[in-house]
Amino acid sequence: MRLYRVSSPQEVRQAIRDNFSALPAEVIDLEQAGGRVCAEDIIAPEDVPGFNRSTVDGYAVRAAETFGAGDTIPAMLKLTGEVRMGEAAPALPPGSCVYVPTGGMLPGGADAVVMLEDTETLDDLVNVFRQAAPGENVIRRGEDIAAGTVVIEKGRLLRAPEIGVLASLGITSLGVIRRPLVGILSTGDEIVPYETKVLAPGQVRDSNAPALGEIARRKGARILYGGILNDTQPVFREGIKTLLEQVDFLVLSGGSSVGTRDFTAQTLQELAGGELLVEGVSIQPGKPTLLARCLGKPVLGLPGHPVSAINIFSLFGVYVIERLSGYREESYQPVVRARLSRNIPSRAGRTDYVRVKLEQKNGMVYAVPVLGRSGLLRTLADAHGMVAVPPESEGVQAGKDVDVIIWE
């Protein structure tokens, strides 16, 4: 058995950052852009709003003409018109006011809006019982988005608000990073397609491929399933090469444990320019993890244990997808702060990921460790998330508050 060097989780992330970057861009319609990553700085071609607007129902005024107005001495203004939505505002002669609905355009010369509640109307005369400050109840032209400014930076994930911003500017298509195509290969003589109705003795259904595919899909990737490889080096070599040529990122489930890791590692190194970046991670579950760069593309060799495979892929596979997708910033993981319900032991020198369920009791959120052997997939399905116990710690005591990384 070959000795191999174990990397810390930080070193693995560093290797991913150093070796892989965004895929090329493509232009797509705005309506298809949700969940994609912006490939260019978007500069606002115009102001939003394009005109000064009222934020309330009221009367557009010159603020100076209301100065000194109060409960007992109103300012008296002549009502000379009404703003219609979607139309240019009428003029505002001195000493007058114009009715304006919420969102309506302010007449030229108006610099404030008094709310209906602060006025009393007698025929064409409006008594204003409160003085307006300049700018009050007004959104100025360009206040939301100023023409010429970068409104969405390259590398930003396009969510609903970003889509709205782009639409408000009349942008109908834009450059986004191509969605990574992730190839997933399962390995193992005992592994059979999950559709297999009746298992022969010793056979195990391939649960990893669809589970990993789901994680990748949620991160915005497309998936190409490459089937199942038998545990021999020629089969590995051929299978890995064939799928790797078609995808942006190859994920191998299994084949990184004692019996097969040597020839997996060797196969990866043999592939054009293949370079092994990570040969093991100081994480439980999931230590026997391989990361390589082959044909300039990332290849992640996951331990076959379903719990380890999902844990490692969530930690590092997702990060690879983020890099390929061109994310500008590291995305944060949603965490819930919760009180640990019982002690969790942990070995120093590695990061332990402990499955927990969240329970709410008397207004408190508790993290309840899920019992059961660490290799069992069911315990993962029963958990809401994980508590990471750092390498310098030998466990966490009941009653302490912990961050629970939530499985989405």
- Residues lying near ligand AMP in the complex (CB under 6 A): 186, 188, 190-191, 204, 206-209, 253-257, 303-306
Total residues contacting Mg ion (rule CB under 5 A)? 3
Give the phi and the psi of residue 325 in degrees, each rounded to 5.
-80, -5
Q: Measured from the CB atom, is 183 or 304 closer to Mg ion?
A: 304
Q: Which one of ligand AMP, Mg ion, none is in contact with 143 (Cβ closer than 5 to 8 A by kind)? A: none
Least gap, CB of 389 to ligand AMP (angstroms): 23
What is the rounded radius of gyration, in angstroms, for the C-alpha atoms of the chain? Answer: 31
Candidates 31-39, 261-269, 271-279, 296-304; binding stretch for Mg ion (CB under 5 A): 296-304
Closer residue to ligand AMP, CB minimum distance, 38 or 312: 312
- Which of ligand AMP, Mg ion, none binds 303 (CB below 5-8 Å, type-dependent)? ligand AMP
Nearer to Mg ion, 90 or 304 (CB): 304
Q: How far is the CB of 190 from ligand AMP (least distance, A)?
A: 5
Query: Which residue has the closest beta carbon to ligand AMP?
Result: 304
Comparison of 188 and 285: residue with beta carbon closer to Mg ion = 188
226 binds, options ligand AMP, Mg ion, none, Cβ within 5 to 8 A by partner type? none
> Which CB atom, from 313 or from 366, has the smaller least distance to Mg ion?
313
Q: Candidates 18-26, 286-294, 304-312, 350-358: pick the segment binding Mg ion (CB under 5 A).
A: 304-312
**Least separation in angstroms between CB 259 and ligand AMP:** 6
In the bound state with ligand AMP, the residue whose beta carbon lies nearer, of 239 and 254, is 254
Residue number with CB closer to Mg ion (280 or 369): 280
The residue from 304, 306, 369, 385 that contacts Mg ion (CB under 5 A) is 304
Among 142, 188, 288, 385, indicate the residue that binds Mg ion (CB under 5 A). Answer: 188
Pick 45 or 193: Cβ nearer ligand AMP: 193
Q: Min. distance of Cβ 372 from ligand AMP in angstroms?
A: 16
As measured in angstroms, the least distance from the Cβ of 256 to ligand AMP is 6
CA contacts within 13 A on the Cβ side of 150: 8
User: Would you mind telling me the total number of residues written for the chain in this entry?
Assistant: 408
Q: Could you tell me the smallest distance in angstroms from the CB atom of residue 195 to ligand AMP? A: 13
**Least separation, in Å, of the C-beta of 186 and Mg ion?**
9
Binding site for Mg ion (CB under 5 A): 188, 254, 304
